A and B are shown apart, each in its own frame.
Chain A
């Protein structure tokens, strides 16, 4: 997704001279196309994420459209207060591009696992929060949001190849995308972990369980209408996210169920504990912490179907 993101950004930058790209010294083999074409509009701020956000705030106030780029944990957690008191408070069009959701930086360990960025960004009422599920949706999400007047957080995966079947790259701000019909259980997923959601749906299908699957890529603004209408059709919903349980997609769905008085039971598949003392590939970690397709299907069989 990050390759597509940068390619799309280069296209946009050709049309709009306000676009700048700032990095906190990350993006090797990803940001080069932008540097090559717009060296004057690229700044490697150095390993200094707070300053990067402050610089972007000053640039945006003067009329620029700065995109700041780093690994999701470093882009969101370290400079969080600078995001709050900078672009959010001043309503400025700074775009924060956080790379890697959940365990995508597998072997790099906990410091690189983005497991709470949705939660911390979602609590801010005035930042657009987008988490595409594949590279095609990344492109359409960027094309439809790059020139919003306020700040945007993009949670971008590393996978540049996988395609989410049924999504066809669709994205609409404030809407969900339904990618699979099914009558028994509704799976709601966000980001690249949607691949695992689809694997779970396939496995459950073999056991005679029919799953609907919807993708939530627009968190802020929240797709409340789409969600409440989808949830009303099911008595069981399962959320799937490469994130801690609190504050993310599962929380959003819980709020939606409660606020709309929907009669629907919720199972949240998320990373339940701090993943300390263990590292491995993304696939290994997803399985270890219960968000692989297989483990999601097992939980659904045990905690939803068998109940």
Chain B
């Protein structure tokens, strides 16, 4: 039986699969788990994975793919057997998403690429007179990439109202805290100054994420940014806000502790 679409279950899948595969990027996946949960539970219109008029989703921070796979499974777009091949040799389900897998619109993994693709997808929807929307999930450190700012200017210039960007503001990156590397603050004011419709939300409140998106005007006006305040490694006590959990895999005992920690979210 497929588990319920909850913050607990998406995290349980992330922990189980990353522990089984012995891989990292756990903290990043836990950071975006509730954003992806809100999108796949409440927001994305996907009549079929190959429906041309489906909403598009670009996980521009591709290293959080495990959260996306978990959501695809919970939404019944991929099977448990497919999910369970995570990081196995020959699997389509690797640490970064590939479009060959049902439910993945674009392959990602190189930061700074996804927002430009999202701009093109949004422009295409407008030209095709479609009401479909495009959602792009980026990381805060991804805004180090110059190409992000090219896309920000383009989207505002063309008033891509059907484009919704979620920025995972966990304030960490691979080797340190964002404020110590390329300070981004005030990131909300920067995007607003570029002409975007900016909203600040709790990135772990699924209801707030969903209700904010539902109130957006995606048919006219500027593109939208949701600055999602998140906690890196959210839900696992020893991972929260710790740099090493960008890459580090869990030991057996750490896995056991992590499962206990997320029990409170059940």
Give the B-binding residues of A (Cβ under 8 A).
40-41, 43, 45-46, 48, 50-51, 53-64, 66, 81-82, 85-86, 89-90
Contact = CB atoms under 8 A, between A and B. Distances in A.
Interface string B111-155: 011011111111111011000001000000000001100110110
B99 interface: yes
Contacts of A64: 124, 127
A37 to B, nearest CB: 16
A116 to B, nearest CB: 21
B46 to A, nearest CB: 15
A59 B150 contact: no
B149 to A, nearest CB: 9
A34 to B, nearest CB: 16
A55 B52 contact: no
Main secondary structure of the interface of B (DSSP, over half): helix
Given A55-B117, A58-B121, A58-B134, 20 more contacts: A43-B158, A48-B154, A50-B146, A50-B147, A51-B116, A53-B116, A54-B115, A54-B116, A55-B123, A55-B154, A57-B120, A58-B119, A58-B123, A59-B123, A61-B105, A62-B120, A62-B121, A64-B124, A82-B116, A85-B113
Given A62-B52, A62-B128, A56 B120 contact: yes
B110 A59 contact: no
Contact of B106 (A45, A48, A55, A90): A90
A92 to B, nearest CB: 10
Interface residues of B, number: 32
Could you say which of B113, B125, B146, B157 has the most chain A C-beta atoms within 10 Å of its C-beta? B113
Interface of B: 52, 56, 99, 105-107, 109-110, 112-113, 115-125, 127-128, 134, 146-147, 150-151, 153-154, 157-158
28 contacts: A41-B127, A43-B158, A45-B154, A50-B147, A54-B113, A54-B116, A54-B119, A54-B147, A55-B117, A55-B120, A55-B154, A58-B117, A58-B119, A58-B122, A58-B124, A61-B105, A61-B120, A62-B121, A62-B125, A66-B120, A81-B110, A81-B113, A82-B113, A85-B107, A85-B113, A86-B117, A89-B99, A90-B99
Contacts of B124: 58-59, 61-64
B99 to A, nearest CB: 6
Main secondary structure of the interface of A (DSSP, over half): helix
B119 A55 contact: yes
A86 B102 CA distance: 18
Given A40-B127, A50-B150, A62-B128, A57 B107 contact: no
Given A51-B147, A86-B113, A59 B153 contact: no
A57 B134 CA distance: 14
Contacts of A56: 120
Contacts of B113: 54, 81-82, 85-86
A62 B107 CA distance: 15
Contacts of A89: 99, 107
A90 B101 CA distance: 12
Contacts of B157: 46
Nearest to A49: B150
B206 to A, nearest CB: 27
A86 B112 CA distance: 12
Contacts of A43: 123, 158
Contact of B116 (A46, A57, A61): A57
A50 B122 CA distance: 17
Contacts of A86: 113, 117
Nearest to B105: A61
Contact of A51 (B107, B119, B121, B127): B119
B256 to A, nearest CB: 38
Contacts of A54: 113, 115-117, 119-120, 147, 151
B154 A57 contact: no
A62 to B, nearest CB: 3
Nearest to A66: B120
A46 to B, nearest CB: 7
Contacts of B128: 62-63
A40 B107 CA distance: 29
A51 B106 contact: no
A90 B117 CA distance: 12
A20 to B, nearest CB: 8
A61 B123 contact: no
B126 to A, nearest CB: 10
B228 to A, nearest CB: 22
Nearest to A82: B113
